[in-house]
Structure 1
Amino acid sequence: MTEIDRPAETLPDALSRCADAVAAALEQAIARAQPVSDRLSRAMRHAALAGGKRLRPFLVVESAALFGVPMERALPAAIALECVHCYSLAHDDLPAMDDDDLRRGQPTVHRAYDEATAILAGDGLLTLAFEILAEPTTDPDPAVRIALVASLARAAGGEGMVGGQMLDLAAEGRFADAGRPAPDLAGVARLQELKTGALLRHACEAGALIGRAAPPEMAQLNTYSRVIGRAFQIADDLLDVEGDAAAVGKAVGKDSAAGKATFVELLGVAGARAELDRLVGEAHAALAGFGTRATLLQEAARFIAERRN
């Protein structure tokens, strides 16, 4: 049975199944990496195995499934991406960045251990990601493995997530020599397209690469990933305004306290919700050419827009 022929599955069940597989594969990957320090190994595990929806790996798996690729073949690329995501959270939570004490309902890595260990745990996960992608077991075609490495490097680096984080710090007025840019919708959209959206775009691109997608199919997934990236951030902004810390699993109200420009601040709550509805419709339309194979990805767009944590 191919993934295309698999029985119908609800989105919650599919997310849970993927999350379980990702957690098991991450644990095995960290064990295989054999960090020389037990403390470092435990900190890496704390960063990577503290739960979460595993949305990014899910997008890799489901994008690959559009082309008949089973989960086990997509899993290495999926956990490589999750390593990068978890590294970024460990570093973002540091006092020099967002200074958070809680992540996924648990103490952040620097609170559970210390700042130096949190930095090294993040570094360990980042480099592990590229080790995983370089392994022949990730894909038998070296050209595909190189493409996966290049795609993740672009998404995670200065033209992607790291660049977006730098823009975010500048938006808070952190740098005396750079001033503080005036908030506007285009600026917020660009910042979030890099900081949040880049890894989501890579997720869909990775699945397409593993599935040997044709250029038109790759373009459709790229459109979908850009749309859900915007929706993810608007939903996140709404949670920061309206969410409860216990339910969200991290501190809320921090964007307003830091004076950040957000989609909610610029559009208003009602305007942000209207934009989410529009984006969900656009995400569904982007995948219409895949027919029922894309049902779970289309449902994921609504899930992203309506999430509560």
Structure 2
Amino acid sequence: MYMRKWRGQLPGFGFTLPSLLLTLVFGVYPILWAMRYMFYDYKGYGKERFVGLDNFVQLIGDHAYWDSVVNTFVYAGGKLIITLPLSLILAVILNRGLRGKHLLRAIYFMPTIVSTSVISIVFFIIFNSFNGLLNQFLLRYHIISKSIDWLGPEHAMMSTIIIAVWGAVGNYMLLFIAGLQNIPSDVYESASLDGANAVQKFGYITIPMLGPVLQMVIMLAIINSLKGYESIMVLTEGGPIGKTEVMFLYVYKLFFPLSTSGSAMEQQIGYGSAVGFTTALLVGVVTLLYFYASKRLNKVH
């Protein structure tokens, strides 16, 4: 009897085994490897030396890292404030019976499937201070009198947020559309019979009934915003003067120093592991706080 039961489950184990092995090799093992080196002084070459908690003591006084933490929350906050309302508005508009709505959905979703490196290179051409397309357009129509350094210290963070919004809005828009399509049309018809206008329907029907999807989208947006660094790495490498340095880019530089800017950091595997663990812990704490806040709101409602 037991042999028959196990034989019936063998195909399932066979299908899941490759994914499990890949997860163990490329997911679990690197994490365990990095956690070991948190307590070592190891620069990727030479001998490793056990230092205990010295890496974490160094982290406490690392002003560059804590500046990157601040930059991360500024970047994530700016991205969320713009992306979520814009995605929801687009979802509501494109959920109606508009002509060509499927084409518009595809257009808005397209940036999600394009390589981040390609997107960053395109926007570098647009935001270039000397002959960028944006400055050329603004100068031609006399909107500005001189070129703006979009990737300079004053505007670099805003430029990276714009790119992040452009790349993310289509993804969250589709998730909102999926949630909107699960709201019964009878509810809106009943509200119309009671004299409710479009704003009242949106506030008293759409938002409450979209609650579960909204919570999930906000959670994904928070995590992705805190983890995002790829476009910044290609566009500014965290510069100028650290104005766009974010947490995970800082960790990346400790493991894989960037040399294109001429000011590469020294490779520090041990210290990078400690910084990476702390960064993951910060993201986890923010996520748990969001879960707690969303549960409290559910109880209130």
Output the TM-score relative to the length of structure 1.
0.28
Output the TM-score relative to the length of structure 2.
0.29
- Greater relative contact order (Cα 8 A, min sep 6): structure 1 or 2? 2
